[in-house]
Structure 1
Amino acid sequence: MNNLYKHALKQNQSITQDLEKFENAEDASVGLQGQISASLIALKRTIDDYDNLAKREMILVKQEKAFANVSKLRNEYNEFKKLFERLKQRETNKVIQNDRSELLGRRHNTSTPEYPFQQHDYSGEQHALREHNFINETDSKLDEFIAHGREVLNNMYDQNNTLKNTQRKVLDAANTLGLSRNVIQYIERRSTQDMWIFIVGCIITLLSMWAIVHYLT
């Protein structure tokens, strides 16, 4: 349980650093926003897992301390989420303002038409609005893809840890029961195969995330 709490603190620190970059306008890219979104999802999952372990803690003192940690982590998570939403709205407002400035600049650079409300200007505003909506939809889709990829990686990481723990327990049990060396070697070979499957899965997932970000941004 302590390891899970430490993992949540590391996730907390990483999100804090990314939000500072976003807030200070050091990096407002779609990639960073997707990373923050995925990190928030991963942090919430870690908090939920930690909360479930705390509920099963038999020692009352440790349980109360764990519940206090869960409450603190949830409050920090909610603050992170609110700040992230405000920063995203700030970037959206910047894009809208830039679009308006660009349209006004185009109008000033062209001659005054005979009729003030020509269809050309109206179509230009519609085009800018459609382009802005498309960018927002693309950002949302990228956030979803990256968050899904991060969740898959976290699940694979957890499964790998589970396999390692299972291997240790099986080997200990095998030594205790006096199983043959051939059976132990077979278990070790299967564990090695599972490790390679895990590594290949990680590579495929990372390549998929890179392809999504590369071709959709």
Structure 2
Amino acid sequence: MATVIDGAGGGGTLSELYQNVRRVLLRTRDGMERLERLESSTAGGGLDSLELSDSIKRDISQIQSLCVEMDRLWRPIVAKPQRDLWKRKVEQVAEEAESLKECLDRYFSRNQKRMMEVKERAELLGRANGENAHVLRIFDDEAQAMQSARNSSRMLEESLQTGIAILSKYSEQRERLKKVQRKALDVLNTVGLSNSLLKLIERRHRVDIWIKYAGMAITLIIVISVWRWIR
């Protein structure tokens, strides 16, 4: 008997209203799924998303209106089991409508946030291309200065390594000269050369030592000069 109760506003029987609201619910859930797919796409849906969201919003409003009408119709039912059954059905529909409304509200919130982000990026780009473009130039100059400092540091390190290698070569040559000197002295002592020749060799050896130290000093001066020039 409850399913044939007429609505005062000409909305039909309770059963007809329930079937109608179920159809709208199915359509709304399907629309919400399509809206979320459009949101996940690269373009974001554009006008299609706007039209679909408006349609979903209207459907939810219709469901809520039907729930109000159904709530009015189930209350006069005399039989308690039937009245309780319709009460649960109406409450279930109302909960589904509220859940869909929350999903749509979250979508609008995300969409508004995206629009704000796009607007802020556009404003930042506009300022960067306009009155604040010099800030970008400052950052670029600083980046170039840092790169130049790294290059200078690398050149200095290479120069120091070269100087160390040169000094190492001088040290090896000195050891070889000492060995050669000892062998020459042994040979000269063996053949009995005169003391004057030995003294001449010793003087030449001292000259070679001074030449060696002078070369080392010049190398150090060159390395230090290069380092100061790079700084």
TM-score by length of 2: 0.46
TM-score under structure 1 normalisation? 0.48
